[in-house]
Structure 1
């Protein structure tokens, strides 16, 4: 093998290809980061909406999670850089996420994506966005989303439960910090019960995608995740709920320091891979 062949072999061994692109749709431009497996077959798609209280996160803060899902679950990941406050407030983030999801479902084949096999995911505020996008897609008969992965999601901005009180301070995400995020994100006069802000307050939970919800035992958002899982089950939605005792909000972001985080990441990848395999078999 000559030098040129050696170099080509190294390039062929790359497990994924990453590119930043801008989707132009619905009269707006939505930047996304596309992670594609190196294999040539059309890849199933995970739409990923980052956390950070709608305000602080970006594509780089959650880059490692997207890379792992791309490699371990064998899917493409489209991470959406939705508009954030103070420049753009609610409902712009929801509109950007849905517009990107709709564009990928419609045009993804041109990027080598099997957009007919689509899932959504997010953590914290991004988990709430993922849940909202699933509900909107169902209501508008939009993109067919087969699976949602919700990591310690914000699901009820008016929640008043045990975990909201027990972990309001001293466990990472505090009640004051969450209120501050909402103050930046939600304009005056907009009800926090709006289902795009509080998907748990939607009136219908039927016909939603199969779901994996991960909650943290020491997170003020814990109980709304538990409740959402229960309501999905009652509506006949296939759902798995896994709680990690002793963990705080955002624990999955620190796998190097925490074996629980590593186990949770593996669970996410296995659940996605299983769903995409089953969806491919039934297609």
Structure 2
């Protein structure tokens, strides 16, 4: 697809059905936005967890990405509006994301979904949440998640590496901003090494879903994404890691201005489509 076609496709993505719903999970409401493609048979499901440092972001800030995935992949997208600080701190976001995923796995057929075909995705803090949900689902023998799409994810809140030092300031997401987000999200006394905060510090990486991990070359989170991809591969998990040199954290949110963002979105759609068709992620 040439650049002009990529730009037009991103702008013109149209979804036939979009509904804001509230799932009642374990007596607690979790708002979601359901994007449903125009297909007669049950649609596979992408659970999407938005970024924003666990504090900012909402269903509207990442609406375009969800619409494009729904249209291009021909899958349903369930975007989760998890509870956030200051009213709700860790582990509430994790609990809401897992509860919504579990609800879709158990009750999604009533919405015209195929709950046996679930993938998860997220960017930044949402990417970390997606990785955590995969680990919890494996450990609790919960929803059968087949694929994880992690966009420049937060995976190790205690990371000390080259990219954390090299891009600590002046490249969009800064070390100071990340520390502020963590201060808002994590209550005093909770260790940042907790695997629900730092999934890269989990003790086991076996039996996790196949993954596409996208990193940005000028992002302080770059090296933990690289390391996570290596650890998954070492554990026998099928992984495709794609890095976009010269890009900053969150670059996929700006496809109108950045050709590499459009290419990354296309890669995401190809990987998800291939997974739902049973062919695996593209090389």
Give the TM-score band, short-chain normalised.
Answer: over 0.9
In structure 1, the partner of 2:10 is none
In structure 1, the partner of 2:255 is 255
Cα shift at 1:39: 1.2
SS state of the match for residue 278, structure 1? coil
In structure 2, the partner of 1:233 is 233
The answer to whether the Cα contact below 8 Å between 1:156 and 1:193 also exists between their aligned partners in 2 is yes
The separation in 1 between residues aligned to 2:194 and 2:87, in whole angstroms, is: 21
Q: TM-score, normalised by structure 1?
A: 0.93
The answer to whether the Cα contact below 8 Å between 1:117 and 1:279 also exists between their aligned partners in 2 is no
Bigger Cα Rg: 1
The separation in 2 between residues aligned to 1:151 and 1:279, in whole angstroms, is: 21
Cα shift at 1:214: 0.0
The answer to whether the Cα contact below 8 Å between 2:15 and 2:35 also exists between their aligned partners in 1 is no
Unaligned runs of 5+ in 1: 1-13
The separation in 1 between residues aligned to 2:105 and 2:15, in whole angstroms, is: 24
The answer to whether the Cα contact below 8 Å between 2:15 and 2:67 also exists between their aligned partners in 1 is no
The separation in 1 between residues aligned to 2:118 and 2:165, in whole angstroms, is: 36
Cα shift at 1:26: 1.2
Query: Matched residue pairs, number?
Result: 267
The separation in 2 between residues aligned to 1:21 and 1:72, in whole angstroms, is: 23
In structure 1, the partner of 2:145 is 145
Q: What whole-Å deviation, never above 9, does each CA across 1:171-209 have from its counterpart, x for those lacking one?
A: 000000000000000000000000000000000000000
Unaligned runs of 5+ in 2: 1-13
Q: What whole-Å deviation, never above 9, does each CA across 1:62-114 have from its counterpart, x for those lacking one?
A: 00000000000110000000000001000000000000000000000000000
Q: TM-score, normalised by structure 2?
A: 0.93
Cα shift at 1:146: 0.1
SS state of the match for residue 61, structure 1? coil
Change (3 A) 1:245 1:153: same
The separation in 2 between residues aligned to 1:199 and 1:45, in whole angstroms, is: 23
Q: CA RMSD in A?
A: 1.0
The separation in 2 between residues aligned to 1:256 and 1:25, in whole angstroms, is: 37
The answer to whether the Cα contact below 8 Å between 1:217 and 1:246 also exists between their aligned partners in 2 is yes
Structure 1 runs of 4+ aligned residues shifted over 4 Å read: none
